[in-house]
Amino acid sequence: MKFKKGDKVLFLNEKGGGIVTRIIDDEIVYVSIEDGFEIPYVVGDLIKTAHDESNTKTREIFHKTASDPGNQRQSPLQLLTHQTDDITCGIYLAMVPRNQDQVLASAMDFYLVNHSVYTLYFGLFLNKSGHFKGVSSGVAGPSSKHHLGKVERTEIEDWNHSLLQALLYRDGKTEIIPPVASHIVFKPVKIYKEESFAFDPLLHQKAMMVKVHTIG
């Protein structure tokens, strides 16, 4: 089935639906879901929301096929998004290899990723032998990223035990989130393990995601 930008779709193998926002190729499109995130989907896992007979038959055929183990196959998107279900609402430090084909050797771009509906006003400090040094500050809007800079692999340990301070704001009626002061802790050795890197829907690239603070 062909899709175009703006099509309303339902998910065949899970509840809900969304709107097609981008066409990657004949197999993969991006869908904006209810919470505002853009998620990549295989076109075979989607149907248009028009409630016609053909869509009903398509849904029935899909469920019959999925229930037959002999017909199951690995989606090309499974390799791309094998850890996106782990992304919960919160703030993350993302380490993105500049060369996506050599994730275990490439220099990194570091991002602060705001997987939430709040606007994030932040300051980031590196811990240099027990003394904090301010290295970045700024604003990250809802469901957005903020580039912190290029980091060589020899410098990555400097980012372990760094500190994020932040305020979270949202227009209109909202829950008040206390100010954030969170240490960023991770195992630097994980950058040399392939399974540490997964596709992130906001970065649109494979990244090692370090959870800094959970929201909600």
Phi-psi region of 130 (alpha: psi -120 to 50; beta: other; left: phi over 0): left
Task: Output phi, psi for 188, to 5 deg.
Answer: -55, -30
Per-residue pLDDT tens for 22-59?
887 777 788 888 766 677 777 877 888 754 444 444 44
Of 174, 163, 165, 164, whose CA–CA distance to 118 is shortest?
Answer: 174
- Per DSSP bridges, beta strands 180-184 and 162-169 are antiparallel
Per-residue pLDDT tens for 111-155?
999 999 999 999 999 988 778 999 999 999 999 999 999 999 999
In the chain, the N- to C-terminal Cα span, in Å, equals: 38
Per-residue pLDDT tens for 182-210?
999 999 999 999 999 999 888 889 999 99
Contact 37, 16 (CB under 8 A): no
Task: Output phi, psi for 99, to 5 deg.
Answer: -105, 105
Per-residue pLDDT tens for 80-114?
333 444 568 999 999 999 999 999 999 999 999 99
C-beta neighbour count of 178 within 10 angstroms? 7
Amino acid identity, position 186:
F
Domains detected in the chain: 8-71 (2.30.30), 84-214 (2.60.40.1600)
Q: Across the chain, what does the average pLDDT equal?
A: 81
- pLDDT at position 36 is 66
**DSSP letter (8 states) at residue 44:** G
**Nearest 5 degrees, angle CA 21-CA 26-CA 31?**
25
